[in-house]
Each structure stands twice: as structure tokens, then as C-alpha cells.
Structure 1
Amino acid sequence: MLNLSVAQAQEDPRFNISINFEDGNTPSLREQVKQALPILWDRIITQQARPTMPKNIKAMTLLRSVRPQQGGSIIQFSPERIWARLEKEGIPHIRTLPVFNLRVELINAFGSSMQGSENEVLAYAHEQSAKLGIQLKANAPLLAIRIQWLDDIQVQLSARGQSRLSEFSETRNLDMGDPFIQLKRWVTQTMMRARDAYVWQNKLVMDANNASDELAALSLHLLIEQAASLPEQIALETALKADPRVQSILPNYLNYRSREYIIQLKQNDDSWIADWFAQRGMVATPNTQGWLIR
């Protein structure tokens, strides 16, 4: 079994994957590289494009070097070969390493700062940053994420700063149980949205996107805040997928009270969404990322 983790590198750290050999078994070099490549894709491919990555790419053709380490090895991929292959495939990617000065602010329903919890969530974000293809530094553009409790089940999530991510503010529902598990997920999702705002859009990528009618402008976030059982969720997803105006639907997160999808449309027109959900007893309101449905 392989245990994959982040390896520190003097160059772009995203291209270095540390593999620890478990159970005393040393896999073949080909197997090591094959297992490491999806980790690289998770760091440099946008969330919307990640499911479209071809499955037939030969990882060995993208390899730069292999360095042994205690109990494993470090697989280093070639940035030049990676970028060339992604451009050939027309896959939107993040070429420049996104660097942020991350700040997390948690405010309870009484308006008081929750400093201990802020430190916990911020520490978790730092632990996850390298896996997301992000570097966090104090002297970098600000990415400030604020979560404020409105009542026992609702919070307001907002983001601002100096990154390329457009400022936004959304109301979200908390699940039953430990709310900080959900807060950590929302913070890392916001970090990924900020990361994806740095997508490399050269002419080749844009031409490929135009040819397949999958421009980033046609990709929307649908945040549905309505309690629904699993069969009800599946029924709604099935109906939406069956609509001829929908290209694809990718779940971002799912739970009983709320769920978020990334939806790609075939045409540059989302004006029909409000009527579509109204016919099913819900109200759809446009926001900065797409639509909020309640």
C-alpha cells in the first residue's frame, strides 16, 4: 500500500509527491508514478475540469526524476511536460502557484470572536494547503474568510481580500453534530475557489473550451438549502441531468440540509433556472457564483 503525502521542494512544490512504502513492500517505479500523478492533478487542475482529465495519460512520460528517501521515494514530475500535455488536451489549469495570506474569522451569534476555534480551523487550512496546490504566507495577497453564526443552524460565509477571487457572501445551513467539521470543509472549499481563480487561459485552452461549449462562464455553482432525503436528492439530480440544457453536474458537497453542485450548461444562458426550480416549489436567487436555491 502507498501512503502519499506532500514533499517539500526548492522549486514549485506541487510537482513533488512523497511516497511512503507501507507493509514493507516496495512497488515498482511505474506503479509509484502512476499513483502519484492523480495527486498532482488535484493540485493544478481546476475543480470543474478535474473530472474531464483523460484516463489514458501515461504517467512515466511526464516524469522528471525519482529520489529515494527513508521508507519511500519522492516523485518529481516535469513542469514543462505537464504544461505541454495540458495545453494539448485543452484542460484549464493553474500554472502559477497561488500564494495567499489566509485569515479566518469566526463570530458567534452574540457577535464575539471565537479565537480558539479560529486557530484550530486556520491550523487545519495550513495542513491541507499543500494538498490543494496552495502556499500560505504572511507577505502574500490577503484571503480573508469570515463565518458568522446567525442562529443555531445558519451561518453567513463571506470572503474578501486581494486575491483574484471575487468577494462573496452566502448563507449556509449547519448539519447536526460537530459544526467545525463542516466549517473546515467550507474554508478549504473557499481556498480552492480562490485557487481556481488563477486558471491559466491561453489561446489554446480557450479555443478548446469554446469548441466544447464549456467556458468557465457557463459553469455555475448551485447551492441548494433545503432539507431532503437521499431519494429526494437523487430524484432532483436526475431531473436536472435530464434537462437538455445541462451538460454535466458535479456534486461539491452533499448533506441532509444543504448541498452544492457545479453545473455546466450547453449554452451561455442560465435564465431558465429560476423557473425550473419554481416549478418544483423552490425559489432560486442568483449570486456571485451561480444560484442559491431554497
Structure 2
Amino acid sequence: MIRRTLLTMLALVGCCCLTGIAAEAKPATEDARLAVDLLFDEGTHPSLQAQAKMAWPVVLERVIPVAERGRFADSIEPFTLLLKAQPTNGGSHVVFHADRLWQAISQANKAYISEYPAFYLRLILNNASGQAMPQSQQELMQDALQYQNLIGIQILQASSAPFIGISIRWLDASSFQLSVQSQSKLEEFSETVSVATDPLVAMQQAVHNTLLRARDAYAVYPSAASMSDDIADVIADSYSAANISMLNIRWSGSLSDQVFLENKLRHDPRVLRLQPSLISRNEQVYALELKQADDQWLSSWFAAIGLRAERDAHGWLVQQP
């Protein structure tokens, strides 16, 4: 009996020792943004090169700022950055090597988001009478939680994470006021959003755009020390469509002035979309998508509000006269 007890104790000690060694050898937790679960067509098993290419666009969607998109996916061979591809039931779990990934993107002179952004998100939704809309508010939060994995952010319940508060107040049946408070790298802003689709879809899109802006505020740009002078050159190649113009606005306007300019330009009938890519106190960079290819009217449009707009190699440079 004593001998059996000793053998049992020795076996347990052996298990503990082995467990301790395994724990020490265990690699650091993988960055969830760099991991993609693939499903294959029945009866197929793509090569590792093919699996890397299948997973690559998903990873880029998570770690590359909106303004850096375009043909970027073709400028790097994803197989060279592959860390592992583990078979799963009907597919594989593909993971890219973080250090090699950041190095490759940096060598390509592109911006990237190496930090895994995490936020404590609070949503407040009120109708035109100021009454809360708890059901729609809950639906928006559930949608945001589903959206986080797609764009590579973490929405945490812990209030110790950087706070982002998104408040939506309906003004009438066709517009709402979007106000954003932030303790993260995202600068606070407020804007009026016109609604031409399903109200819930419009609110979801507003929350999506805000979360994208919050994530992209963590981007690391090449030559960060001189980013203010080179920012347009960093992002211009990502927009190849003929009707997209890059706006680099350098001025000392207040936050309310910035909001006024954004709203005025966004609601111009010639504008299809205005997407911020860099927002700071003295400089804002936007991708401006127009309904027509002609953008010459921008010069007189900015002149009417006291700013000088001139074409340069990257798009439009807007400054105070």
C-alpha cells in the first residue's frame, strides 16, 4: 500500500514537472488578427502557398488603415510571412508571423497597425424627443461586437480600456446627430448624418465608420517623424479609382470649424463619399469620392469658405491663404 502510494506520488510529480517544462516552452499568445480559419471545398486541400493567399486579404483588412488599401495586397508574397497552417475539420488554421509581417509592410513603405487596438465602447441612442431606444441600442452593440473581428479591434467590458462613447440623437425622420467622445487616440468629433436607407443600417454604418477611424488612429506611418510633410504621399497610391481625390487640409481651424467643413462637403450634391484617413489638430486628410470624374470645382468651393486649394502630385492641398 505504501509502495503504491509512493509510485502514485512520483507519477504526479513527474506530470507536474513535464507540465512545467511545457509551460515554459509555450510560445507567446498569437495575435488574433493574424490568424484566419479557412474552409476548403469538399475533397480539396490547397497548397500552403494557396492557403496563405486565401488568408492574406482577411489579415490586411485588420491591420492596414483604410487609406492604405488599393493594390497593396499584390505587393507582398504572403507565403513568405506564413508562421503555420494547422489542419482543421474541413479546412485549416492559418497564422502569419507578426515580426516578419510588420517588417515587410514597413519595407513596402506602407502604414500599418501593429498595436492591437482595444476599446471600452459605450453606445447611447435617443429619438428626436430625447427618449432612449434600448432595443435598437442593444442591436447596435451586438453588431459592433460582431464587427470587431472583421476590422481587427477588441471591444472590452473592462472600463480600464480606452473609452469611446458614441451618441446618436435623431433630429428627424431623415437625419441624426452623431457625437463621439474619446479617451483613445481618436479625436472627438460630431457630425450630422443624412439617412437615405434603413435607419438601423445607417446607424450601423455610422458606428462602423467611427470604429474604423478609432482603429486607424493607431496606425504607424513610415518616417513618422516627418509624417506631417509626407502624409499625402504615404496614402495616395491606395486610391486608384478615377473619381477619388485625396484632400490634404492644413489649417488651424477649431473642432467646430472642422465639423462644419466636413458636413458642408459631405452634403454637396457632387460628393458621393468623404472618408477621413488622418485627423489631427492642424491637418486632416480625406479620400473624397465624387459622382463625376471632374474635380476642378474644388478650387472655387474652398475659395468660397476662405481657403486656397491647389492641385499637387498627390491630389489637392488645401491651406489658409
Q: Normalised by the shorter chain, which TM-score bucket?
A: 0.7 to 0.9
Q: How does 1:1-294 map to 2 (within 5 A)?
A: 10-51=29-70, 53=72, 55-139=74-158, 140-176=161-197, 178-201=198-221, 203=223, 206=226, 210=230, 213-214=233-234, 219=248, 223-226=265-268, 236-240=291-295, 245=311, 265=315, 267=317, 269-271=318-320
Q: Is the 8 A contact 2:271 2:290 kept in 1?
A: no
C-alpha distance in structure 2 between counterparts of 1:207 and 1:17, whole Å: 32
1:237 and 1:166, CA in 2 relative to 1: closer, same or farther beyond 3 A?
farther
Cα 1:229–1:53 shift into 2, 3 Å: closer
Structure 1, unmatched stretches of 5+, are 1-8, 248-263, 273-294
Assess if the C-alpha contact under 8 Å between 1:90 and 1:204 holds in 2: no
What is the rounded CA distance, in whole Å, between the counterparts of 2:30 and 2:203 in structure 1? 32
The structure having more radius of gyration, on CA atoms, is 2
Q: TM-score, normalised by structure 1?
A: 0.73
Judging changes above 3 Å, is the alpha-carbon distance between structure 1 residues 209 and 88 closer, same or farther for their aligned structure 2 residues?
A: farther
Q: Is the 8 A contact 2:111 2:234 kept in 1?
A: no
Rounded to whole Å, the distance in 2 between the matches of 1:120 and 1:211 is 37
Report the Cα distance in structure 1 between the residues aligned to 2:224 and 2:66, rounded to whole angstroms: 19
Q: Please give the per-residue CA displacement for 1:129-158, whole angstroms capped at 9, x wherever unaligned.
A: 011010111221111111110011111111
Residues 209 and 215 of structure 1 are in contact (CA less than 8 Å); yes or no, is this contact kept in structure 2? Answer: no
Q: How many residues align?
A: 244
The answer to whether the Cα contact below 8 Å between 1:99 and 1:141 also exists between their aligned partners in 2 is yes
* Cα distance per residue 1:91-119 (max 9 Å; x no partner): 11111000001111111011011111011
- Tell me, in whole angstroms, the C-alpha distance in 2 between the residues paired with 1:141 and 1:107: 24
Contact 1:67–1:74 (8 Å) recurs in 2: yes
| Equivalent pair of 1:45/1:94 in contact (CA under 8 Å) | yes
Give the whole-Å Cα distance in 2 for the aligned partners of 1:206 and 1:234. 27
Counterpart Cα distance in 2 of 1:50 and 1:86: 12
8 A Cα contact 1:90 1:205, kept in partner: no
Question: C-alpha separation between the residues in 1 aligned to 2:210 and 2:118?
Answer: 14
Aligned-residue offset at 1:175: 1.0
TM-score of the superposed pair, with normalisation by structure 2: 0.67
Is the Cα contact below 8 Å between 2:270 and 2:292 reproduced in 1?
Answer: no
Structure number having the greater helix percentage:
2
Q: Separation in 2 of the partners of 1:155 and 1:203?
A: 39
Change (3 A) 1:109 1:136: same
* 1:237/1:270 CA distance change after superposition, 3 Å: farther
Residue 33 to residue 209, structure 1, CA distance change in 2 (3 Å): farther
Q: Deviations over 1:192-245 (max 9, x none)?
A: 100011111463795798397347996467852255799xx9975411289771
RMSD: 3.3
- Long gaps (5+) in structure 2: 1-27, 237-245, 250-261, 273-287, 299-309
What is the alpha-carbon distance in structure 2 between the residues aligned to residue 211 and residue 194 of structure 1? 18
1:123 Cα deviation after fit: 0.3
C-alpha distance in 2 between matches for 1:101 and 1:71: 35
Matched position secondary structure for 2:190: strand
Amino acid at match of 1:35: M
Q: Residues 243-268 of structure 1, C-alpha deviation per residue, up to 9 Å, x if partnerless? A: 77166xxxxxxxxxxxxxxxx6454x
